[in-house]
Amino acid sequence: MSRPIFVAAWFSPWSERARFALDHHRINYREEAYVPLLGEPLLRLRTRVFRGPLSVPVLFHDGRVIRDSVEIAQYADSVGTGAPLFPASASAEIARYVELATGLMEASRALSMPRMAQNEAAQRESLPSFMPAPLRSVLLPLAGMGTAYIARKYRLDSHNPNEARAAIRRGLERLQADLRGRDTLLSDFTFADIAIAVALTMVRPVEHPVLPLGPGMRAAFTEPALAEEFGDLLAWRDKLYAERRSAPGTARA
C-alpha cells in the first residue's frame, strides 16, 4: 500500500479522532501539519476545493481525497488491519455517538477559542513544534489571527457560553448514564468510544504523548467546573487512552 498523507492540525480533536483510527489500524501515514489561515491556500489547491468551507483533517491516498474525520476513520477500517471500528451491526448506534461527540466539540470550541484568543502562551504553543523558536515568535501574530479567523469562520460569537455549557452538561449526563462503569459504550471497542473520548479533550485534555499540549493550551481546553463534575468520564477516557492509544501517533510530526 502506498503511504497516505494525513494533513492535520496537531492539537485539534477533529484531527485526533481520525489519527486515533489510523493508528488503531497501524496505517503507515505521513502527517503534515496544517496551520490555520497560512495553510489554507495550498490545501485548497491540493484538494481542488476553491470555494466553500474547507477544514482539516484531510487524507490523500491513491488519488482519493477524504475531507472528513469520520470518513477518514471509515476509510482506515477498509484498508487497515486492526479490529473494525465500524461494525455493520452497530452502525446506527455509532452514528448517534459520533453526532453527540461532534455536538460536544462544537459547543466546547465556542468556549475554548475565546480562552485561546486571550492566552498568548496557548497561541505560541499551538504553532507546530517543527518551527524553530525564533520563527514561532515571528509567527505569533499569525497564530492570534488564526484563532480570530476560526472564531469568525465558525461564528463562535453567536454562541452563548452558558447555553454551550448547559448543552455540554446534558451530553455528558447522557454519557454517564450510558457508560455506568462499562469500559466501552457498545459491546465492543468502536469508533463511538474514540469519538467520545476525543471530545472529552475539550472538558480537560488527556495526558498522553500523542497530545503534547503545553500549559497554555491545556488551560484553554479545560472547562474547570465540568471537569470537576464529570471526573468519572475523564477517568474512563484516561483509561481508554492508556489501554487503546498505545501506538505512537505522529502528532506534531
Ligand X SMILES: N[C@@H](CCC(=O)N[C@@H](CS)C(=O)NCC(=O)O)C(=O)O
Residues that bind ligand X (CB under 6 A): 9, 12, 14, 36, 40, 55-57, 68-70, 150, 153
With beta carbons less than 8 A apart as the criterion, state whether 89 and 29 touch.
Answer: no
Q: In angstroms, how far is the first alpha carbon of the chain from the final one? A: 21
Give least dist CB 53 to ligand X, A. 7
With beta carbons less than 8 A apart as the criterion, state whether 31 and 222 touch.
Answer: no
Nine cell digits for residue 72: 477518514
Nine cell digits for residue 29: 501515514
In the complex with ligand X, the residue whose CB is nearer, 68 or 229, is 68
Question: At how many degrees (to 10) do helices 91-117 and 13-24 cross?
Answer: 140
Give least dist CB 57 to ligand X, A. 6
In the complex with ligand X, the residue whose CB is nearer, 27 or 70, is 70
In the complex with ligand X, the residue whose CB is nearer, 91 or 187, is 91
In the complex with ligand X, the residue whose CB is nearer, 35 or 90, is 35
With beta carbons less than 8 A apart as the criterion, state whether 186 and 90 touch.
Answer: yes
Give least dist CB 92 to ligand X, A. 19
Give least dist CB 208 to ligand X, A. 19
With beta carbons less than 8 A apart as the criterion, state whether 109 and 155 touch.
Answer: no
SS3 assignment, position 22: helix
In the complex with ligand X, the residue whose CB is nearer, 15 or 190, is 15
CA gap 156, 152 in Å, rounded: 7
In the complex with ligand X, the residue whose CB is nearer, 157 or 183, is 157
Residue nearest to ligand X (CB): 55
Give least dist CB 133 to ligand X, A. 24
With beta carbons less than 8 A apart as the criterion, state whether 245 and 207 touch.
Answer: no
Nine cell digits for residue 59: 487524507
Give least dist CB 228 to ligand X, A. 25
